[in-house]
Amino acid sequence: MIKAIYPGTFDPITVGHLDVILRGAKIYDHLIVAVMENRSKTCTFTKEERKQMIEKCVEGLENVEVVIGEGLTVDLAERHGCRIIVRGIRAVSDYESELALATANMNLNNNIETVFMVAKPELSFLSSSVAKEIASFNGDISDYIPARIIKEVSEKLYK
């Protein structure tokens, strides 16, 4: 069985994140989506809220599991028996930062590989930050956020 982990802050999950999850679920026997903390970001949603929103979005995908992760991603991957870390890349700027993370992870545990999934062109502009900015001005976020969680996201972000 090939198990992979897709870590991120998912604050909130976007249609771009969901696309990576759906594509990853077709490739791997078991995909763990890990809600992680990023100390350089201030999150709008709690880890529990983010986990619940992702679970709502992946409902019916039998080989996808959502967890709240703590600590280093490679350690979490090891604990869950994953040998692959899935990361999404939207642009060259993502590649630079993701390469640094992948290299650090390789140094920490060379038994775990990082696999980059390139965003579909029509989703390459998406980010949680952009969605939150649009929502803060009562803009339409339906192209950014999965339909199943628009209500929760809107209630928290619309001012």
Give catalytic residues, as residue numbers: 17, 41, 90, 128
CA 159 – CA 154 distance, rounded (Å) = 9
- Is the preceding peptide bond at 7 cis, omega within 30 degrees of 0? no
Name residue, tokens 């998912």.
Answer: 10
CA 130 – CA 17 distance, rounded (Å) = 14
Name residue, tokens 């999934």.
Answer: 117
Handedness of CA 72, 20, 136, 155 (dihedral sign): negative
Q: Of 140, 22, 41, which Cα lies nearest the Cα of 88? A: 22
